Every structure is written in structure tokens, then in C-alpha cells.
């Protein structure tokens, strides 16, 4: 059995579900795209191809192996995008919470049944139907759980709005010992530079006390300022709109000292090294075209 354990985003990783790009299916139609960046690449004829994405993902697997991380992969569903494991579930403490994701994607959870069978049944939680939530919006951070949300009355008109207030309340009920801190995110169906698809598209804690942050991803300035005060201005790497577009906040921590990052993130990677991090660089630019990067592809199960 797997003894799930996740208290934060950066403790030493021991086991993870990592997405898969095999049998990814044809380029989607514009109507079937879930995010504005995918739409851009469909229109431009630059949507990523399976043969380019598989090597990008395998380069990350090699890094996991280097650090002795146990890696689970989804079973392959024919002609189906299974890259972004983070969307289908998340772990807080010893509980695996199934995400309520877009209906078109509900097969994805079936593809990790072989992993779920290793978890005690009572530790697998399915939220009520009225709760919409995806793992990219959920960040355990010790005493806190940070959650990205959108609570505008026009919620249902945004395919990019993935986590609602009902879910924030449900997580608070499940973890009464945690402080649940939610953040209203900026949403756009068509403008990728004005869209924070998930919280990890504009914010991520790293190390022991640092964070990557993009101001415009937050709808409410006071909530952005709360994060700046919480981590301290000197501990924050603030990214530009262009860097947010290229997913600079969507790196992935193997430990408090080791971060996997895209090799084109020159400014970020330099700052990380100056601040004592070991940066494992990979090419992940094809996968990034679907508005997701390294954190989006991972579903951590066990951290020390």
C-alpha cells in the first residue's frame, strides 16, 4: 500500500504520478480546446505533435530516476490527452482527493486506477458534484492550503474557470486543522496573456520560504499583496506577463533545494541558482503550448 503524505510543495519527493504523451490523439478542433493558448497554436498550425512531446516527458522521467523518485504513469487511453496529471487529483496529508474536472476528461481518472488501488479506500475522497476543482489550483503549504478560484456570477461562461467556491468550502470542511486561503484568479477564454488557468500559472512556493509570483494573474490586489507579505518581498521572484505566458511559475520541486525548470527560463534559472537552488533544466516548450508545464504534469503522492 502507498502511505500518502503531502504537507507542502517542496519537501523531498518520493512518489509521483507523471502524465504521458503517448497516443495523444490528433490536433484538436478549435471548439474542443480547453484553454486560449491551445487555441492559438491550433490556429497557427503549431500545435505540438506527439513525437515531440514524448521525448520532453521522458527527459523529466530521467531526472526523477536520478533522484530515486518512484514514478507511476497513467495507462494509455487511445487518442486521448493524458499529459496533465495534476488536473485529475491531488493529495493533502494522507488523503487523495479526486478532482471534479471538465466532463470531457473524466476518463483520465480511470487510467490511474492501478495507483488508486494501492491507496486505502477510506483515504480516497470524491467531492460532491457541485464542487468543481482541479489540482493546479490547490497548493498545500504546511499550515495553509492555498486555492485558486473564480467566484464571478459568469463562472459558467469560462471554460478556464476550474475551481469554484463550493470546493474551497469543502476543502475547509475536510481539513479543519488547515488555514484555507483562496485567491480570485483572472480568467479569459481567448486571451492567454490575461488568463491564469490555475493558481500555479501565476504563483508557486519554492524552497523553504520563497515564491514565484505574477501580479496580473490575481483579480484582487489585496490577495496578491497578502502573498507578498507572507513570503516577504526579498524572497519573491516576480515574473512578467511574457514570462507568465511561457509558464515560468510552473516549475516543479523535487526537494527544497532541487527544482526542475524549462531551459529557456534564463532569468528565473539564474535567480534560482543565485539563491542556492540546484536547477535541473529540461526542454518542455512543446508541452507548454497547451498552457501547462512541469507542475501540471505531476501529481505528487509522497513527500518526506
pLDDT in tens, 34-70: 666 677 777 887 877 888 899 999 999 999 999 999 9
Compute the distance between CA of residue 235 and CA of residue 232 in angstroms, rounded to an integer. 5
In a domain, 3, yes or no: no
Residue-wise pLDDT tens digits, 259-290: 999 999 999 999 999 999 999 999 999 998 87
CB atoms within 10 A of CB 43: 11
In a domain, 136, yes or no: yes
In a domain, 4, yes or no: no
CATH of the domain at 111: 3.75.10.10
pLDDT of residue 157: 63
In a domain, 5, yes or no: no
In a domain, 8, yes or no: no
Q: Where are the beta strands (DSSP E) in the chain?
A: 13-18, 70-72, 89-92, 95-98, 124-126, 138-141, 144-149, 179-184, 203-206, 210-213, 236-238, 252-253, 258-262, 278-282, 298-303
pLDDT of residue 289: 81
Who contacts 68 (Cβ-Cβ below 8 Å, separation ≥6)? none
Who contacts 129 (Cβ-Cβ below 8 Å, separation ≥6)? 100
**In this structure, are strands 179-184 and 144-149 parallel, antiparallel, or unpaired?**
parallel
Domain containing 270: what range? Answer: 13-303
Grid look-up 476543482 returns 133
In a domain, 7, yes or no: no
- From the list 126, 124, 115, the residue with the least C-alpha distance to 1 is 115
Report the SS3 class of residue 213: strand
pLDDT of residue 192: 61
Provide the number of structural domains found in the chain.
Answer: 1
pTM exceeds 0.85: yes
Rounded to 5 degrees, what angle do the CA atoms 205, 66, 282 make? 60
Low-confidence ranges of the chain (pLDDT < 70): 32-37, 101-105, 154-161, 189-193, 291
Compute the distance between CA of residue 270 and CA of residue 183 in angstroms, rounded to an integer. 28
In a domain, 192, yes or no: yes
pLDDT of residue 187: 74
Amino acid at each position: 500500500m502507498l502511505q500518502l503524505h503531502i504537507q507542502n510543495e517542496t519537501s523531498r519527493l518520493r512518489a509521483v504520478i507523471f502524465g504521458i504523451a503517448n497516443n495523444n490523439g490528433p490536433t484538436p478542433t478549435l471548439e474542443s480546446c480547453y484553454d486560449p493558448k491551445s487555441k492559438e497554436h491550433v490556429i497557427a498550425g503549431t500545435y505540438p505533435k506527439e513525437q515531440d512531446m514524448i521525448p520532453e516527458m521522458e527527459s523529466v522521467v530521467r531526472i526523477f530516476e536520478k533522484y530515486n523518485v518512484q514514478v507511476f504513469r497513467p495507462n494509455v487511453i487511445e487518442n486521448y490527452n493524458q499529459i496533465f496529471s495534476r488536473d485529475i487529483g491531488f493529495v493533502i496529508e494522507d488523503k487523495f482527493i479526486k478532482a471534479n474536472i471538465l466532463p470531457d476528461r473524466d476518463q483520465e481518472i480511470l487510467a490511474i486506477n492501478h495507483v488508486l488501488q494501492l491507496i486505502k479506500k477510506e483515504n480516497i475522497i470524491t467531492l460532491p458534484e457541485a464542487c468543481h476543482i482541479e489540482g493546479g489550483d490547490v497548493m498545500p503549504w504546511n499550515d495553509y492550503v492555498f486555492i485558486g478560484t473564480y467566484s464571478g456570477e459568469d463562472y459558467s461562461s469560462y471554460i478556464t474557470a476550474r475551481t469554484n467556491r463550493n470546493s474551497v468550502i469543502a476543502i475547509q470542511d475536510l481539513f479543519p486543522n488547515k488555514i484555507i486561503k483562496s485567491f480570485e484568479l483572472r480568467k479569459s477564454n481567448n486571451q492567454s496573456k490575461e488568463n491564469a488557468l490555475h493558481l500555479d500559472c501565476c504563483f508557486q512556493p519554492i524552497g523553504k520560504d520563497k515564491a514565484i509570483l505574477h501580479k496580473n494573474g490575481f483579480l484582487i490586489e489585496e490577495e496578491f499583496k497578502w502573498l507578498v507579505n507572507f513570503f516577504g518581498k526579498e524572497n519573491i521572484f516576480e515574473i512578467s506577463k511574457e514570462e507568465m505566458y511561457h509558464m515560468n511559475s510552473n516549475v516543479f520541486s523535487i526537494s527544497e533545494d532541487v527544482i526542475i525548470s524549462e531551459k529557456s527560463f534564463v532569468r528565473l534559472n539564474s535567480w534560482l541558482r543565485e539563491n542556492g537552488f540546484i536547477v535541473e533544466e529540461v526542454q518542455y516548450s512543446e508541452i507548454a503550448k497547451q498552457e501547462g508545464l512541469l507542475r501540471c504534469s505531476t501529481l505528487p503522492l509522497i513527500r518526506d
